[in-house]
């Protein structure tokens, strides 16, 4: 859970807000407390949806129906105000991880748990259908695993969002939608039964029954191909096969499914495996103290989905199979190395100019290299912390744990050297061939509790740019190992992110931080002439943090990620904003451009969306299951990498 930001409300209706839980397709999700002390999940509708009369009308209808949903296996809607500005709704808070989180972190569920899961979901869907609703987006991220059984969340919302999109868009998650939903046809309860079969396959194997890859490829297999059920236990497989019938009329009813599965767990011990039971216990402990306050943990909200990509329309082309249909266009692989130790996370990933090497740095202060083709380690080093302060190192790191970390990294144009921005304010230069490491000096400390935010290297002349906890950017001559200039971003505007354009003549910088009370406009997005080192323009006042800037391969477009999750695209020559790819509260954490103008965005919920910037549309969705801090696309466009608790790569075919 993240603290409330400067522009966030402190109260919605009678509910006091405690912190941010994430962003979903409909809006921003908050943790709140009722006047009687109960924890709840509060969702505020996005402004662009709130201004749509059709959405408001459908939202009011769906909320009224959702409030009639009862049963043991749903996270119930307890309050709502469709007429408010913006509209909001409140659901019961269910302490527990999502099915997606549990499987990605601890693997598939055992056979006994699958029966409990399937029966609980069937009973929950039956209650939803009994209220006249169809879920439309049943998926692992919309299922919470609680101590006493699963809960179905986010029911009745997808249909409300239909009013805000064109009829050619199909809202849902490709790997878990039914054939009729993928075709854009009318859907009914049988569509949720198909999704139930897909969810059970994921729970049993860790994969959906129709694989991974581009939206078009997955949707084609949903409509035309047989499911892949290898690894699904036999007593579950029979139910799954029936649920996944292409013809809705051939699928079993939910009552039939309940008759064929074991009854839900009735109390005689945990129904989940030990590792997942521990996850549930952690969530429960967090909700017990009466004086509970937000922590830095990212919680899944009962009753509301935090999956950001659910808001992106999926346009299905079904008349003919796409190129490579039947095979995933992207395959995910966790790199075979000890990536991070303890509770650390990866903070930056980057590819070498020839796409042959992948570098990653993180909270443990280590820099690691992998060979992309073989997915094997190619080297590692750990930065020795430099402490220029009179305070003991233990005092510095206890106040600021990032002091020991490595925060960002960039390759030289020839790929021979790797620059690493460290949390202690120094820069490490690693000779990739020899393994020798040089540390550039700590210059002009401003505040001892700060951390270096970013490094970037000019792709033409090799000049290094770095931020160092000050309203300025330092420029370095790597050959001489000396500082050559300082660019001042403005008093109070702490430089946080930077990027050179492909031709090396423009440097973009963004300033901002997470200081409580700062607004999304507390910062500057600026352009600099890399030769004269003079300011060209201030494009906007926007609070932007690390991983927030990226130039397109042709240098014509600059993408900026503001700290509220808004991605804006800029025409560099015209100095004008051309598009917005995501709204405030969307959950985007990082961005990176790739070959052909493809923009990758990492999300809080562990997903990655790839956008075709020219067409202004999403073209693929990937998933890791845990929060993504950094993302990179190889220069040759064949590989996508994302870092968080783990480092995952996808080969794009």
As a whole number of angstroms, the longest Cα–Cα distance in the chain is 76
Tokens of 419: 């620059």
Find, among 571, 603, 592, 602, the residue nearest to 635 by Cα. Answer: 592
Burial (Cβ within 10 Å: 0-12, 13-18, ≥19) of residue 626: buried
Q: Quick check: is 444 catalytic?
A: no
Candidate list 2, 137, 363, 522, residue with the active-site label: 137
Distance CA 429, CA 462 (A): 13
Q: What are phi and psi of 56, to 5 degrees?
A: -60, -40
| Length of the chain counted residue by residue | 653
Distance CA 453, CA 593 (A): 19
Distance CA 600, CA 261 (A): 41
Is the peptide bond prior to 435 cis by the omega test (within 30 degrees of 0)? no
Is there a contact between 64 and 56 (Cβ–Cβ < 8 Å)?
no
Distance CA 104, CA 642 (A): 15
Find, among 190, 228, 184, the residue nearest to 318 by Cα. Answer: 184
Chain position carrying tokens 């043991």: 72
Q: How far is CA 35 from the centre of its chain?
A: 32
Distance CA 52, CA 47 (A): 9
Find, among 619, 585, 114, 566, the residue nearest to 304 by Cα. Answer: 585
Catalytic residue ranges: 137
């Amino acid at each position: 859970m993240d603290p409330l930001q400067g522009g966030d409300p402190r109260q919605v209706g009678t509910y006091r807000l405690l912190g941010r839980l994430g962003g979903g397709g409909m809006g921003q999700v908050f943790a709140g407390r009722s006047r009687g002390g109960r924890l709840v999940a509060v969702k505020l509708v996005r402004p662009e949806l709130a201004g749509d009369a059709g959405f408001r009308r459908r939202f009011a209808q769906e909320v009224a129906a959702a409030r009639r949903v009862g049963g043991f296996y749903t996270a119930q809607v307890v309050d709502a105000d469709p007429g408010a500005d913006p509209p909001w709704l409140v659901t019961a808070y269910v302490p527990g991880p999502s099915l997606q989180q549990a499987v990605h972190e601890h693997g598939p569920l055992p056979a006994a748990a699958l029966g409990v899961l399937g029966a609980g979901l069937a009973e929950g869907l039956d209650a939803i259908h009994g209220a006249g609703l169809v879920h439309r987006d049943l998926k692992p991220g919309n299922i919470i695993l609680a101590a006493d059984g699963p809960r179905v969340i986010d029911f009745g919302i997808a249909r409300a969002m239909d009013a805000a999109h064109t009829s050619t868009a199909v809202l849902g998650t490709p790997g878990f939608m039914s054939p009729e939903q993928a075709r854009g046809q009318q859907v009914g309860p049988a569509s949720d039964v198909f999704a139930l079969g897909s969810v059970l396959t994921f729970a049993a194997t860790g994969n959906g029954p129709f694989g991974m890859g581009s939206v078009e490829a997955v949707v084609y297999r949903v409509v035309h191909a047989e499911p892949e059920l290898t690894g699904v236990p036999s007593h579950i497989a029979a139910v799954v096969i029936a649920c996944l019938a292409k013809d809705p009329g051939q699928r079993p009813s939910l009552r039939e499914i309940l008759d064929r599965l074991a009854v839900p767990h009735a109390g005689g011990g945990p129904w989940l495996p030990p590792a997942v039971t521990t996850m549930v216990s952690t969530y429960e402990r967090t909700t017990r103290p009466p004086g509970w306050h937000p922590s830095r943990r990212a919680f899944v909200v009962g009753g509301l989905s935090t999956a950001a990509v659910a808001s992106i329309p999926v346009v299905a082309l079904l008349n003919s199979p796409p190129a490579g249909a039947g095979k995933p266009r992207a395959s995910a692989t966790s790199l075979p190395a000890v990536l991070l130790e303890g509770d650390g996370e990866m903070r930056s990933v980057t590819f070498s100019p020839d796409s042959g090497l992948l570098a990653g740095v993180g909270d443990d202060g280590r820099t690691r290299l992998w060979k992309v083709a073989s997915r094997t380690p190619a080297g590692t080093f750990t930065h020795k912390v430099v402490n220029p302060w009179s305070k003991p190192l233990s005092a510095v790191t206890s106040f600021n744990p990032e002091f020991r970390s490595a925060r960002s990294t960039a390759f030289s144009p020839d790929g021979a050297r790797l620059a690493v921005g460290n949390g202690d304010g120094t820069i490490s230069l690693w000779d990739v061939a020899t393994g020798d490491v040089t540390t550039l000096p700590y210059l002009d400390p401003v505040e001892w509790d700060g951390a270096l935010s970013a490094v970037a290297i000019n792709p033409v002349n090799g000049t290094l740019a770095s931020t160092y906890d000050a309203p300025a950017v330092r420029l370095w001559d790597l050959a001489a190992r000396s500082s050559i200039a300082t660019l001042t971003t403005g008093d109070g505007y702490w430089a946080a992110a930077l990027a050179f354009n492909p031709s090396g003549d423009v440097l973009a910088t963004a300033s901002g931080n997470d200081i409580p009370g700062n607004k999304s406009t507390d910062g500057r997005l600026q352009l600099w002439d890399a030769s004269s080192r003079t300011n060209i323009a201030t494009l906007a006042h926007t609070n932007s943090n690390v991983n927030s800037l990226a130039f397109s391969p042709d240098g014509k477009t600059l993408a900026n990620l503001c700290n509220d999750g808004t991605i804006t695209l800029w025409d560099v020559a015209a100095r004008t904003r051309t598009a917005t790819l995501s709204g405030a509260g969307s959950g985007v954490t990082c961005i990176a451009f790739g070959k052909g103008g493809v923009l990758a965005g990492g999300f809080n919920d562990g997903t990655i969306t790839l956008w075709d910037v020219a067409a202004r549309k999403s073209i693929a969705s990937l998933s890791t299951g845990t929060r993504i801090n950094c993302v990179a696309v190889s220069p040759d466009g064949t590989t996508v990498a994302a870092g968080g608790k783990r480092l995952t790569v996808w080969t794009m075919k």
